[in-house]
Structure 1
Amino acid sequence: MRAFNVPESGAQPVVSDLPVPEVTDGTVLVRVKSAALNAIDNGLATGMMAAMLPHAYPLVVGRDAAGVVEAVGAGVDHVAVGDEVFGHVLLAPPVQAGTIAEYALLPAAAVAAKPAGLGFDQAAALPLAGAAAFDSVQALDVQPGQVVLVTGATGGVGSYAVQLLAARGATVVATGTAADADRLTSLGATTVVDHTSDTPLAEQVAASYPDGVDGLIDLVSYSPDALALGAVRKGGKVASTLNAADEQVLAEAGLTGSNIMAAPVREVLEPLAAQAAEGTLKVDITQVLPLEQAGDGLATIASGAARGKIIVNIAD
């Protein structure tokens, strides 16, 4: 099969031929139609995460996919050969299996039936980003009328988080540039603040919300001191997808919070897909690439220029 993979530690990803994975107990072999790129793919492709999770090579890049079931392992009874599905390769050592390939082996727990009204591109764009957004909103326990700041709102996770917050009746303050404003407001943001401005983010937020926002979903900060904690009122909550929510730092600021480890399992994926199929959750795809250009998509994400979701088409 053709696969976008890292042939050995330290090498650059390439598209080359690899053996088709063999189905095992509790897994689903999928003939991939579409796969999605996520920020984590750069971390895995460069080996940045090898100290945390052992890697095995060749390492196929990609975690999310949608396609048609080719085979199922023992114990799998919720999908069958020929079903249209989507899902995610959960992180487990050694990291090697991926989805940007003609075939992908996914754990059954992270495979769901694709609704008939949802395209393969849209389904592939849901798992990791959708689950991260859902878990972040859940962690804040957002109530109608609350104000929530989303930093990193222009990316894939942010595009879902803005919508899920708005659907709960929250007022959403999203970070972006002037060029992003129309797109973010169309997704449900009430206010867009320019993260490239010389004026600190907290000051920009305070101009509209002088008492501070009720919650912060941070999708971009790698350390506690990078979080816009000054924008959050005392007693507010913080959710970080990059492990920046330090309990002591938050406590000193009069806040609580948690770090989010997304779990794109079937119980989370099915309701997200149902919402997307009925049109209440927009899947914000901004770029679709052929397999041979998957590396260009990774480069876009690494540069910070990605908007919405980037999809790799594997087959028609």
Structure 2
Amino acid sequence: MKQVVQNYKSGELALLDVPVPGCKPGGVLVRSAYSLISTGTELMKVSEAGMSMVGKARSRPDQVAKVVQSLATNGVPATYRKVMGKLDSYTPLGYSLCGVVERVGAGVDDVKVGDLVACAGNEHALHAEVNWVPKNLYVPVPDGLAPRHAAFGTVGSIALQGVRQGESRLGEVALVIGLGLIGQLVAQLLAASGSG
């Protein structure tokens, strides 16, 4: 099957032939119909790949903390090999898609083969022909919703979570900083809920 990947060290994007994942218990195999390209998230990954090592470290302090922990646990040589290996390998891209269930794993009873599902997760809803998606990262698509629209489910849930975390109340004024796709959805949700 085909999958879109990126080498984080060089920034190279590639379309690779990779094995089809197995259908493990607690999830489903989904054949992608539409896979959402998130310009914010994925352009950030592409631009970070072109940075120097110092630039990459500055842009990802969370990863620097993991490297520091590894240094303390494993020492310099092992940590260096681990970091270089990770940087110079292909990483799959994508985190939101809509597709058709091809196989159902043991313990799954909420969907069946042939059902249309929206899927989420940067390790499961990849730009690939087929993905294994665990039970908590897919949802059946309601009748009448176009698959190309259902592929936006993850982005919509991110926007909705932002509105919920902001705890905006009816009649309050809210400020949305950044009007990319998620910011636009947040602004629409706030307006629909009575925030100005």
**What aligned pairs does 1:93-112 form with structure 2 within 5 A after superposition?**
97-112=124-139
User: CA deviation digits over 1:127-166, x for unaligned, max 9?
Assistant: 1x2122111111222111111111112x211121111111
Counterpart of 1:131 (choices 157, 172, 193) is 157
Structure with the bigger percentage of strand: 1
* Structure 1 residue aligned with 2:32: 32
**1:81 and 2:113 aligned:** yes
Gaps of 5+ in 2: 50-55, 68-82
**What aligned pairs does 1:249-260 form with structure 2 within 5 A after superposition?**
none
- Report the CA distance between 1:169 and its aligned residue: 0.7
Counterpart of 1:68 (choices 100, 114, 118) is 100
Q: Distance in 1 between matches of 2:158 and 2:125?
A: 19
- Report the CA distance between 1:59 and its aligned residue: 2.5
* Structure 2 residue aligned with 1:18: 18
Q: Is the 8 A contact 1:31 1:104 kept in 2?
A: yes
* Structure 1 residue aligned with 2:194: 169
Q: Is the 8 A contact 1:30 1:69 kept in 2?
A: yes
Gaps of 5+ in 1: 172-316
- Report the CA distance between 1:83 and its aligned residue: 0.4
Q: Distance in 2 between matches of 1:41 and 1:8?
A: 12
The AA in structure 2 aligned to 1:22 is G
Greater RCO, 1 or 2 (C-alpha within 8 Å, sep 6+): 2
**What aligned pairs does 1:289-304 form with structure 2 within 5 A after superposition?**
none
The AA in structure 2 aligned to 1:163 is Q
- Report the CA distance between 1:27 and its aligned residue: 2.0
Output the TM-score relative to the length of structure 2: 0.73
User: CA deviation digits over 1:281-310, x for unaligned, max 9?
Assistant: xxxxxxxxxxxxxxxxxxxxxxxxxxxxxx
- Report the CA distance between 1:13 and its aligned residue: 1.4
**Alignment CA distance shift 1:9-1:78 (3 Å):** farther
- Report the CA distance between 1:58 and its aligned residue: 3.7
Quote the sequence identity (%). Answer: 30
Structure with the bigger percentage of helix: 2
**1:144 and 2:142 aligned:** no
Number of residue pairs matched by the alignment: 164
**Alignment CA distance shift 1:149-1:170 (3 Å):** same
Q: Distance in 2 between matches of 1:149 and 1:72?
A: 43
User: CA deviation digits over 1:30-78, x for unaligned, max 9?
Assistant: 1000011223334556565692699695422101010100112222111
**Alignment CA distance shift 1:108-1:10 (3 Å):** farther
CA RMSD of aligned residues (A): 2.6
* Structure 2 residue aligned with 1:2: 2
